[in-house]
Chain A
């Protein structure tokens, strides 16, 4: 099932939580939803799951419109909300059976499906315990299990790996990747390596607006127009040459790094290979070039760049 969001706006009182965003997600695609706290990720998810109506704009999931046929849509969505709320006094198995029934699964299919999902989510040993007795990681698994139990076409996960240990995180990521082959998955997270590891496409949102929407590789290449490297230069008498470097053409930023004298992080435009220019400059001035390390811009940097005002 495809998800298509057109000009979605959600206003709380006077605050625009989501401001006129549009995007599409196709079947078999895993979309990573990134953004700082309060950017509008959770609000968007609440609209997509038909929990809240949008203030403006249109959302269609498959052939259904979210305003006119929410009941049809809800059947096809598995949703893991932020903070993973669960009925703590219920035993795991009983809770999952309840969810399956409410989602309209035929009674005859429920037992087999329960066995499958409990196994997939690694809950076999805990299945008869009350949810309140489980540790955070296991509760997170129950949260995932309840989202998956009715075999939904669309999976919406709000920070699915919080509270899991590194092994569990890898397991859950693999699970999401596997599911994502046939289904439509939207997941939000703060953990950038997670997005790179699981998602086909990244949507970066800030102050309710989309500021980036691309594959991880392409987002990384945004910085291709510039050249970044760390360099250390030895100068007689250890005088600072930062200003001299700044006055050179093509150089955009010279950041002075601590600990060593004359060690800099330089960003330059890539019209000409700046390394040559710098080398000639060193020869001309009689400086000794000690280090020149190219730097690739990380997803963290791109994220910061796109979301800092």
Chain B
């Protein structure tokens, strides 16, 4: 755990050193801020105190931002060769993967923490369903976690960051929209399956204010699956008879 934390801290620090963190925060806050307060179905338009616009648009922001964060995790280290230095240190592959996962998640948590003033402001404006807001944040965190898992897996099998970015987006499109669409057009068990696979249905069910253990299990399973696949990918260098 100690080693995981050391690696996570470095990953987190690297986002700030390379300015990625600043760009992400500014764009994220500008985007969610605009849609929460200024345009389309904003708080004033709806005339009631809720944070639904924030959660809807934060969801879309994360769809683009998380691949931009995770693309470099392994692809960059593979290209520059630092992966070799890192993996020959006294750490396991799993500690490295977990460290990178935590580092990325910490940055997303930071971004979400900066939206808390929205919450306080809206709560000041009118009666707010605090439970729904907490659920909305929990939903975003779980969604980010699963998506980071996918992103890290994709990044682990390429040394090209652009490939990692685009491929993670492709996965994202499926999990955010296509599975949802498929569940509408297919019937019976297949429809159920697509409904279950879609991240957006699970996210919506949480952000409606109901934290169901099935949704939590779903997001955590995707996270863990992504990270395990990344470990399998890293372990390939050890295959005895490749």
Task: Annotate A47-87 by CB proximity to B: 1 below 8 A, 0 otherwise.
Answer: 00111111110000000000000010011010101010111
Establish whether residues B14 and A85, one from each chain, have CB atoms under 8 Å apart when the complex forms.
no
Q: Of residues 71 to 92 in B, which have CB atoms within 8 Å of A's CB atoms?
A: 80-82, 84-92
Establish whether residues B17 and A90, one from each chain, have CB atoms under 8 Å apart when the complex forms.
yes
- In angstroms, Cα B241 to Cα A49, docked, is 19
- Which of A26-34, A95-103, A112-120, A285-293 interfaces with chain B? A95-103
Number of B interface residues, CB 8 Å?
26
Does A182 count as interface, using CB distance less than 8 angstroms? no
Does A13 count as interface, using CB distance less than 8 angstroms? yes
Q: Of residues 1 to 33 in B, which have CB atoms within 8 Å of A's CB atoms?
A: 3, 6-7, 10, 13-14, 17-18
Does A133 count as interface, using CB distance less than 8 angstroms? no
Does B214 count as interface, using CB distance less than 8 angstroms? no
Establish whether residues B81 and A81, one from each chain, have CB atoms under 8 Å apart when the complex forms.
yes
Instruction: Write out the residue numbers on chain B whose beta carbons fall within 8 Å of the beta carbon of A51.
Output: 84, 87-88, 237
Instruction: Write out the residue numbers on chain A whose beta carbons fall within 8 Å of the beta carbon of B82.
Output: 85-87
Does B238 count as interface, using CB distance less than 8 angstroms? yes
Does B189 count as interface, using CB distance less than 8 angstroms? no
Partner of A103, one of B7, B81, B89, B242: B89
Does A12 count as interface, using CB distance less than 8 angstroms? yes
Instruction: Write out the residue numbers on chain A whose beta carbons fall within 8 Å of the beta carbon of B81.
Output: 81, 83, 85
Does B116 count as interface, using CB distance less than 8 angstroms? no
- In angstroms, Cα B16 to Cα A130, docked, is 14
Establish whether residues B240 and A55, one from each chain, have CB atoms under 8 Å apart when the complex forms.
yes
Establish whether residues A98 and B10, one from each chain, have CB atoms under 8 Å apart when the complex forms.
yes
Partner of A104, one of B10, B14, B86, B90: B90
Instruction: Write out the residue numbers on chain A whose beta carbons fall within 8 Å of the beta carbon of B7.
Output: 102
Does A248 count as interface, using CB distance less than 8 angstroms? no
Establish whether residues B88 and A98, one from each chain, have CB atoms under 8 Å apart when the complex forms.
no
Closest to B99 in A: A102
Establish whether residues A103 and B85, one from each chain, have CB atoms under 8 Å apart when the complex forms.
no
- In angstroms, Cα B240 to Cα A307, docked, is 28
Establish whether residues A79 and B85, one from each chain, have CB atoms under 8 Å apart when the complex forms.
yes
Establish whether residues B242 and A13, one from each chain, have CB atoms under 8 Å apart when the complex forms.
yes
Q: Chain A residues in contact with chain B, CB under 8 A?
A: 11-13, 46, 49-56, 71, 74-75, 77, 79, 81, 83, 85-90, 94, 98-99, 101-104, 130, 146
